[in-house]
Amino acid sequence: MQALALDDYRAIVFFTGAGLSAEAGIPTYRGAGGVWASYDYETYACQEAFETDPDRVWDFHDERRKRMAAAAPGGGHLVVAAVQKAHAATCVITQNIDGLHQRAGAEDVVELHGSIWRVRCRCAPRVRPDFSVPASERRCGTCGVWRRPDITWFGDALPAAAVQRAMESLATCDLLISIGTSGVVYPAAELPRLATQRGARAIEINPQATPVSHLYDTVLRAPAAEALARIFPQLSAPPVAEA
Ligand code: NAD
């Protein structure tokens, strides 16, 4: 496919999943080497598991935090941030919880599945940007209840405000670029349809076919950074955002 000219589009949406962060060294969830191949989500990533053994669930998420903290944004994250910088009406909607879009320089990212860097409590949210929650602080000192990672586990509802913002952006964009998502996790997988139903140009970037590939006008069966460099050659090697 030919390179895209940003000026040809009024409003752009990137809809991203674990495949984008795979290039930063963070395993995807499904497939060979994916998180769920080694860890059963019923034991580690649902409210019931948390209520059964909160320390086990916290240990799992602390390990993931360490891995994510050690990762640097990949080339794909940098291109997405560069597009947003060059074209203000660009919305980044992600299912990723790792914060790598923001670390690459993207702003106002819509986090459909929350963020592993936030901790949720009945009495107040708390942000911990770069390290694990000490075992002594897993229970809230104020209300005494177990804090939990502010992410969407299996069986949880998606955060309503994020869903609302995602729906608004998708319904009004004229270019949708979906990157590295398997399209099997609902309701997130359903959201891109809002853009395609309204006639937005839609591009899927994923080395593998997905159950929603048919929604897209163009499918690029390539890794994220490589495909984005093809689409946005003028932005494919922006300066690294992090010090
Ligand atoms: P996924 O693992 O289901 O799919 C990843 C996709 O990326 C695959 O389709 C794969 O082909 C593709 N891919 C692999 N390498 C790529 C590359 N280099 N470039 C482009 N694409 C590549 O991840 P998803 O679609 O983001 O699914 C969302 C999932 O997030 C949810 O199902 C849930 O399991 C997970 N999640 C988990 C937690 C938790 O740990 N508690 C929290 C939030 C979300």
The 10s digit of each residue's pLDDT in 166-189 is 999 999 999 999 999 998 877 888
CB of 12 shorter than 6 A to ligand 1: no
For the chain, give the percent of residues with pLDDT over 70.
94
- Give the pLDDT score at 207: 97
Cβ density class 165-182: b for 16+ within 10 Å, e for less: bbeebbebbbbbbbbbbb
CB of 28 shorter than 6 A to ligand 1: yes
Q: Residue 141 C-alpha to ligand 1 middle, in angstroms?
A: 34
Question: Candidates 16, 21, 26, 29: which one to mutate for ligand 1, based on the most atoms within 8 Å of Cβ?
Answer: 29
Residue nearest to atom 4 of ligand 1 (CA): 182
Single out the residue of 10, 11, 20, 8 nearest to residue 181, CA to CA: 20
Active-site annotation, residues: 113
pTM of the model: 0.92
Average pLDDT over residues 209-224: 96
Residue nearest to atom 31 of ligand 1 (CA): 185
CB of 180 shorter than 6 A to ligand 1: yes
CB of 58 shorter than 6 A to ligand 1: no
Handedness of CA 44, 48, 31, 183 (dihedral sign): negative
**For the chain, what are the domain ranges?**
1-25+73-113+158-243, 27-70+118-151
Whether 242 has a pLDDT exceeding 80, the answer reads no
Phi first, then psi: what are they for 104, rounded to 5°?
A: -80, -10
Average pLDDT over residues 6-11: 97
pLDDT category at 87 given cuts 50, 70, 90 is: very high
Average pLDDT over residues 13-39: 91
pLDDT category at 130 given cuts 50, 70, 90 is: low
pLDDT category at 90 given cuts 50, 70, 90 is: very high
- Ligand 1: which atom is nearest the Cα of residue 23? 18
Whether 132 has a pLDDT exceeding 80, the answer reads no
**For residues 163 and 190, is the Cβ–Cβ distance under 8 A?**
no
Phi first, then psi: what are they for 105, rounded to 5°?
A: 115, 0
- Ligand 1: which atom is nearest the Cα of residue 30? 2
- Ligand 1: which atom is nearest the Cα of residue 180? 21
Residue 42, Cβ neighbours under 10 Å: how many?
12
Residue type at 6? Answer: L
Whether 79 has a pLDDT exceeding 60, the answer reads yes
Q: Residue 179 C-alpha to ligand 1 middle, in angstroms?
A: 10
Torsion of CA 169, 170, 176, 177, to 10 degrees: 80
CATH topology of domain 27-70+118-151: SIR2/SIRT2 'Small Domain' (3.30.1600)
Q: Which two tokens stand for residue 7?
A: 């000026």
- Give the pLDDT score at 104: 97
Phi first, then psi: what are they for 202, rounded to 5°?
A: -130, 130
CA distances from 239 to 73, 104, 143, 168 (A): 12, 10, 45, 31
CB of 213 shorter than 6 A to ligand 1: no
Phi first, then psi: what are they for 139, rounded to 5°?
A: -100, 140
- Give the pLDDT score at 129: 57
CB of 22 shorter than 6 A to ligand 1: yes
CATH number 3.40.50.1220 is the correct assignment for the domain at 1-25+73-113+158-243: yes
